[in-house]
Structure 1
Amino acid sequence: MANRVEWVVAELAVAMLGAVLVAVNTRLQAPEVSAQLRHARVRALLMAPRFAHHSFLTALLEILPELDALEHVVCVGEARPPRIRSWASVLEAGTQVLPARLAAACAAVGPEDALVVLYTTGTTAAPKGVLLSHGSALPHCFHTGEALALTPADRLCFAIPLFGTWGCLNTLLSALSHGTTVVLLETFEPRAVLATVARERCTVLHGVDAMFRALLAQPDLDQFDRRALRTGIVAMMAGANPAFVRQIVERLGLPQLIQAFGMTEAHAGVLTGRVTDPLERRLDSVGRPAPGVEVRLVDPDVEREVGAGEVGELRVRGPNVMQGYLDDPAGTAAAFDADGWFRTGDLFERNVEGFYHFRGRLKELLKPGGFSVAPREIEETLLQHPRVREAYVVGVPDSRLGEVPMAFVIPAEGASPGAEELLAFCRARLANFKVPRYVRLVTDVPRARGPHGDKVQKPQLRELALRELGLSQGVPGLGGSGAWLR
């Protein structure tokens, strides 16, 4: 189901009663939905008959025989088959519940009780069901509102999906806990967002970088009144790009925009900027740890904590961290180190002021000639080139150095940078062992569906690189210009 008021009502009702909400990505195909509903043993399903080009009813009828635990199906709207309950009938049934029974159910809910099961995207492994508790959600989400300085005078244009942790927890609960008005859109559509911001005088707007890029690309952007906009969060899925964040601040008009970093297992906003931070830090970093969240950066090869200016794996500890993966004790145990810190698998660098900069994924770390190189550092360098829109780096075998970087570049609209031009740009800014050995201009890269936009699949991208170099029989090639430098 897309973003609807029934979604919000159901989430809050489920929380009050101590039941567990299982949020399902609306972009999943029927077999994926079936796997998650069966794994979570879902007993009641709230759905809409269709959304965009997806017929959810058709998908449900296809997988219904597989859902042994399912007892109730509730469908919003009028188009529903017989035997599927309407939303109105559920509301009517609720009026028959005795107040004492409702009060007893609410009183029995404690901070350690599970609140939601949210499934990871599964770009490097099968999706896992993450259990988050009441006690992990409420304080952490309140602090998100504090970072944004939300008040009852604010109006949030809510266009990110409710089915992700950023939507159903951090965004929704940070607004409600601060009395902020929520203006809910079913889905993100650039012109609808701009029209809503203008009509409702919205002051807060969140989104991933691709969403903001789409807003800025609207030819009649200046026809929409955006003077009320004040703050919001941008998640830079394609890599840090201070110049682009500055465009959002200045062209769209979000003077107090911040960045943040999080994950399903520990909530959105593990690291977060504050509206009171200096502008340059809000442009080039994801901020500092949220209140109540402990973090440290560790060299995973020797389990040594690293200092400012060094790159290490982010480890997280605190009430915001998950209870575990549903029915996966081995996976849960492997996710934590010996001291109880959650292993994020993400590489960060902390500056002397305490602000954090994302440097890539631990599994993607390259070792050319024995040197540790974070692909994100190379990607961020390429993103500084005015004719580059997106850049992704993987490691490929090399007979002399063992491994060297290979860059896949999506040019800016209408641009066609040469490979030598990009390599020269990198040589002027990076140590020689960090400069890509190969550059490939492409129109797109492999991606996986995520709650907040598509995530690049580095394993498939590396397989493509190996195939292009004649080292693998991997996946089919991508459309592109074929620009290379060896």
Structure 2
Amino acid sequence: MLMGNCPEWLAVMFAALSLGARVVAINTWFRTRELRHVFARADIGLLVAADRYLRQDYSTLLREAGAFDKVGTVVILGETPPGALPWSALRRKPGAFPGPEPDDVAQILFTSGTTAMPKGAQLTHRGIIENMRPIGERMRLGPEDRVWLAINLFWSFAAANALGAALTHGATIVLQHAFEPGEAMALIERERCSVFYGMPNMAHAMWEHPDRPGRDLSSLRTGLSIGTPGDMALIERLGVGRILQVYGLTEAYGNSAVCDYDDPLEVRHATCGRPLRGQEVRLVDPETGRDGVQGEIWLRGRNMPGYYNDPERDREIFTADGWMKTGDLAAWDDGGRLLFRGRLKEMLKSGGINIAPREIETFLQDRPGVAEAYVIGLPDAAKGEVPVAVVVAEPGASPDADTLKRACRAELAAYKTPQRIEIVERAALPVTATGKVRKHELAERLARPPS
């Protein structure tokens, strides 16, 4: 499926799942190269796509990507191009179908990374239901809840997480076709949505929107997001009563650890909560291979059965006894909750000492006037590499690099203080189509001598 958020997306997904078919939810940001990759990998027999979404002409894009040659049948919602069938062709009288088994694959979601081509994570019917039910329990979801959902449905946070959590608890989905902050606030107010499913960048956009002071978002009692303590605080200032921080990845059904509705504010803002029921978590030292209070997150229990048609990648991330190596770093707090520390590949080693960029980023983002912070390592003759930070200011603010460095020196270990801090516009950052900052490109830019 290649469509924006719409009722037809949901109709196709649930119809396909009820027949036992596998749903490949395609990223609406993908362009020709990525679409070719998906069509070559996923063995798609039926493609249902919108003729266009926002500014994208999908009929043209699909032809350029070879969809009409590589896919058995193409159905277009909207204006039907030559070689495709109209949306009405999907309507059929009910027939007899065997339906799925619990451990059959339900969804194949292609994860987008900052360096590699997307990989098709397979999620089963059983995993979606059994992992999403406890997520809903952590939020205290019930039939009276209305879930605001503007996250694109192709993401696991929506396709598996939000839909599964809502439906296993009888909640209502209020679907926004595409995120626009003014429209989002109007929709939440009009529909009296009680659950926020969104990312910090959405909250920032709503907070900065001129309509915000006149909108009543007090119906939002809880929700899920991922970010720094400052991000979580902003979401609550927006109107969400109790936002819950989470840890997760597509390969593990979206979330593996989630805060609880009754957790105190400082826990919900700073930790990712305890592991969900049925999910085992280890923190493994990357150098010694031993379990500890911090290390790489290994998961077992609620994991995908593997990537679609990618046994080599499966061998890289799965151990013989079923543990999945995530490449993420974390620590345990005293209450058995996860503290996310960043990606293993992003770890810096300065003068022989390991540094987690996430720790410095979180500290900087909590300084007045700072909206975003990104820390990377640059080569250094004496220490191997040193941390360097890039900061994006909040609207109307003018944070000072020297002041930020002094704050780092005062409250962080000396080796964690960025050697230099640059203040940039958000638009100057190299990002993926989904908004993730490409840190390797950022490092390349910062390593160049000033022009």
Deviation, 1:141, is: 1.2
Residue 218 of structure 2 contacts residue 240 of structure 2 at CA under 8 Å; is this kept in 1? no
Q: Say which of 257, 264, 278 aligns to 2:250.
A: 264
Task: Give the partner amino acid of 1:122.
Answer: G
* Structure 2 counterpart of 1:232: 223
* Structure 1 counterpart of 2:394: 412
* Structure 2 counterpart of 1:74: 75
* Structure 1 counterpart of 2:367: 385
The C-alpha deviation readout for 1:138-187, integer Å capped at 9, x for no partner, is 11011111111111111111111100111111101111111111111111
Q: Say which of 176, 184, 189 aligns to 1:193.
A: 184
* Structure 2 counterpart of 1:123: 114
The CA distance in 2 between the partners of 1:446 and 1:82, in whole Å, is: 37
The CA distance in 1 between the partners of 2:449 and 2:80, in whole Å, is: 49
Q: Say which of 31, 34, 49 aligns to 2:33.
A: 31
The CA distance in 1 between the partners of 2:370 and 2:417, in whole Å, is: 16
* Structure 1 counterpart of 2:346: 364
Residue 156 of structure 2 contacts residue 250 of structure 2 at CA under 8 Å; is this kept in 1? yes
The CA distance in 2 between the partners of 1:89 and 1:369, in whole Å, is: 65
Q: Say which of 299, 311, 320 aligns to 1:316.
A: 299
The CA distance in 2 between the partners of 1:147 and 1:468, in whole Å, is: 50
**Counterparts of residues 100-119 of structure 1 (less than 5 Å):** 101-102=96-97, 105-106=98-99, 109-119=100-110
* Structure 2 counterpart of 1:245: 232
Residue 375 of structure 1 contacts residue 394 of structure 1 at CA under 8 Å; is this kept in 2? yes
The CA distance in 2 between the partners of 1:431 and 1:232, in whole Å, is: 35
The C-alpha deviation readout for 1:308-361, integer Å capped at 9, x for no partner, is xxx31111111x211111211111011123542111111111110112111111
Q: Say which of 143, 154, 159 aligns to 2:145.
A: 154
Task: Give the partner amino acid of 1:304.
Answer: R
Matched position secondary structure for 1:129: strand
- C-alpha change, 1:463 and 1:17, in structure 2 (3 Å) is same
* Structure 1 counterpart of 2:441: 460
Matched position secondary structure for 1:406: strand
* Structure 1 counterpart of 2:287: 301
- C-alpha change, 1:167 and 1:343, in structure 2 (3 Å) is same
Q: Say which of 212, 215, 220 aligns to 1:221.
A: 212
* Structure 1 counterpart of 2:87: 87
The CA distance in 2 between the partners of 1:327 and 1:248, in whole Å, is: 39
The CA distance in 1 between the partners of 2:165 and 2:410, in whole Å, is: 44
Matched position secondary structure for 2:362: helix
**Counterparts of residues 334-353 of structure 1 (less than 5 Å):** 334-353=316-335
Residue 68 of structure 2 contacts residue 83 of structure 2 at CA under 8 Å; is this kept in 1? no
Deviation, 1:247, is: 2.8
Matched position secondary structure for 2:65: helix
Task: Give the partner amino acid of 2:80.
Answer: R
Matched position secondary structure for 2:391: strand
The CA distance in 2 between the partners of 1:432 and 1:111, in whole Å, is: 53
TM-score by length of structure 1 reads 0.89
The C-alpha deviation readout for 1:288-315, integer Å capped at 9, x for no partner, is 11111110111010101112xxx31111
The C-alpha deviation readout for 1:363-382, integer Å capped at 9, x for no partner, is 11111111111011111111
Deviation, 1:28, is: 1.1
The CA distance in 1 between the partners of 2:115 and 2:81, in whole Å, is: 38
* Structure 2 counterpart of 1:9: 11
* Structure 2 counterpart of 1:43: 45
Deviation, 1:38, is: 2.0
Task: Give the partner amino acid of 2:369.
Answer: R
Residue 34 of structure 1 contacts residue 67 of structure 1 at CA under 8 Å; is this kept in 2? no
Matched, 1:168 2:159: yes
Name the stretch that deviates more: 158-167 or 25-34: 25-34
The CA distance in 2 between the partners of 1:323 and 1:468, in whole Å, is: 46
Matched position secondary structure for 2:418: coil
Task: Give the partner amino acid of 1:395.
Answer: G
Task: Give the partner amino acid of 1:272.
Answer: V
Deviation, 1:417, is: 2.5
**Counterparts of residues 447-486 of structure 1 (less than 5 Å):** 447-450=431-434, 454-468=435-449
Unmatched segments (≥5 aa) in structure 2: none
Matched position secondary structure for 1:276: coil
The C-alpha deviation readout for 1:4-32, integer Å capped at 9, x for no partner, is 11111111111111111111111111221
Matched position secondary structure for 2:351: helix
Matched position secondary structure for 1:187: coil
TM-score by length of structure 2 reads 0.95
Residue 336 of structure 1 contacts residue 343 of structure 1 at CA under 8 Å; is this kept in 2? yes
Residue 206 of structure 1 contacts residue 232 of structure 1 at CA under 8 Å; is this kept in 2? yes
Deviation, 1:468, is: 3.7
Residue 149 of structure 2 contacts residue 198 of structure 2 at CA under 8 Å; is this kept in 1? no
The CA distance in 2 between the partners of 1:344 and 1:201, in whole Å, is: 37
* Structure 1 counterpart of 2:277: 291
Deviation, 1:47, is: 0.9
* Structure 2 counterpart of 1:277: 263
The CA distance in 2 between the partners of 1:367 and 1:173, in whole Å, is: 41
Residue 166 of structure 1 contacts residue 268 of structure 1 at CA under 8 Å; is this kept in 2? yes
Task: Give the partner amino acid of 2:402.
Answer: E
The CA distance in 2 between the partners of 1:464 and 1:339, in whole Å, is: 42
Q: What is the root-mean-square deviation in Å for CA atoms of aligned residues? A: 1.6
Deviation, 1:69, is: 4.1
* Structure 2 counterpart of 1:481: none
The CA distance in 1 between the partners of 2:433 and 2:127, in whole Å, is: 26
Q: Number of residue pairs matched?
A: 447
Task: Give the partner amino acid of 1:448.
Answer: T
